[in-house]
Amino acid sequence: MESFVMHLEFWHWLTLAVVLIILEMLSPGVFLMWLGIAAGIVGIVMIISPDLSWQMQLVIFALLSVSSIIVWRWTQSYFTPESDNLKLNRRAEQYIGRTFYLVEPIINGMGKIKVDDSTWKVRGKDAPVGTQISITGVDGVIFEVQVISEDSAR
């Protein structure tokens, strides 16, 4: 292994770069790509300066790898756009403020409503079927509700 490291050529680094970038495509996240780019840069440096010692090659690779990952993380935290839909993956919170009718009465504080094609549990003051309620909050998968009007005619 030591003799292999001592005789690294430019094509070793370029091959490593290609392998790391392919592995990045096969795995989630964005980590191996930066290592692959660093290996590619070391390969290009080796084309320009083929008599570079193996120790210097590894130092350049390490510095490029660490610095590229740090810069990428910094740019991700600094330039990440604000979402215009903060409740995108929190479906229940999208219904806060909307009104619905009870499909099952609220008995002992628990009942059910129908929202689109789903049935949701609700928690609130006891009320009969058909009562119009407003969703005031979410606790896990249970809506906190407030009675608007007891309209059993619905």
Q: Is 41 exposed, middle or buried, given 0-12, 13-18 or 19+ CB atoms closer than 10 A?
A: middle
Coil/strand/helix, residue 129: coil
Task: Write down the domain spans for the chain.
Answer: 2-79, 91-149
Query: Would you say domain 91-149 falls under CATH 2.40.50.140?
Result: yes
pLDDT in tens, 62-117: 999 999 989 888 888 877 766 665 555 677 888 899 999 999 999 999 999 998 88
What 3 state SS string does 89-115 have?
CCHHHHHCCCEEEEEEEEECCEEEEEE
pLDDT in tens, 8-52: 888 999 999 999 999 999 987 778 899 999 999 999 999 999 999
**What pTM, to 2 d.p., does this model score?**
0.51
> Measured between alpha carbons, how far is 8 from 11 in angstroms, rounded to an integer?
8
| Structure tokens, 134 | 């407003």
